Amino acid sequence: MANFLVLTVIADDKPGIVEQLSAAIAKNGGNWLESRMAHMAGKFAGILRIAIPAEASNALMADLSALNSSGILVNAEQGSAAGEDASIELTLNLVGNDRAGIVKEVSQALAGMGVNVLELTTDCASAEMSAVPLFKAEARLRVPQGFEVDDLADRLEAISNDLMVEITLD
């Protein structure tokens, strides 16, 4: 029987981090299922989901802990392979003037409507013509069947009169 683990990884960015992780996982018979990785402020940051034979979990944990001596910090949490309930996935795109607290306001609106954030990517970049800092976000969301998408759009647009909201059904 397989165990499903979610690993979070952080290290000073340098070549070979993914190779060391994948080598430890493969050595123990694990399967790298999905991942998201990025370079941020000189750091490598990643999250990945793996399947590992139950009898190899302890050996994998020891190998991942050994990466600490190379400056690669790995945290492992038990995950599941369970399917999702009857729900709908949406993609949300936001663009508006950047300001402190905007992520808090957006996340409050989502949580207040019972929206589950599956994936969130944010960025702050200068507008092309004016160089005004723009907040941009893209999110994959999960909502229950019968969810009113227009209500979510209204709630998000109420945060600021310059916030552009686009919601699409996946």
The answer to whether residue 83 scores a pLDDT higher than 60 is no
Domains parsed from the chain with CATH numbers: 2-78 (3.30.70.260), 87-169 (3.30.70.260)
The predicted structure's pLDDT at residue 85: 67
CB 7 within 8 A of CB 76: yes
Instruction: Summarize the confidence of residues 151-166 as an average pLDDT.
Output: 95
Instruction: Summarize the confidence of residues 58-71 as an average pLDDT.
Output: 96
State the Cα–Cα distance between residues 36 and 22, nearest whole angstrom: 14
Percentage of the residues of the chain whose pLDDT score is greater than 70: 97
The predicted structure's pLDDT at residue 84: 56
Residue environment code for 85-123, b if the CB has 16+ CB neighbours within 10 A, otherwise e = eeeeebebebbbebeeebeeebeebbeeeebeeeeeeee
Distances (CA, A) of 81 to 7, 25, 31, 34, 78: 15, 18, 13, 13, 10
The predicted structure's pLDDT at residue 94: 97
The predicted structure's pLDDT at residue 101: 95
At 9-49, the pLDDT tens digits run 999 999 999 999 999 999 999 999 999 999 999 999 999 99
The predicted structure's pLDDT at residue 129: 82
* Band (150; pLDDT cuts 50, 70, 90): very high
Torsion angle of the four alpha carbons 123, 129, 133, 138, in this order, in degrees rounded to the nearest 10: -30
Instruction: Summarize the confidence of residues 131-151 as an average pLDDT.
Output: 94
Percentage of the residues of the chain whose pLDDT score is greater than 90: 88
The predicted structure's pLDDT at residue 170: 85
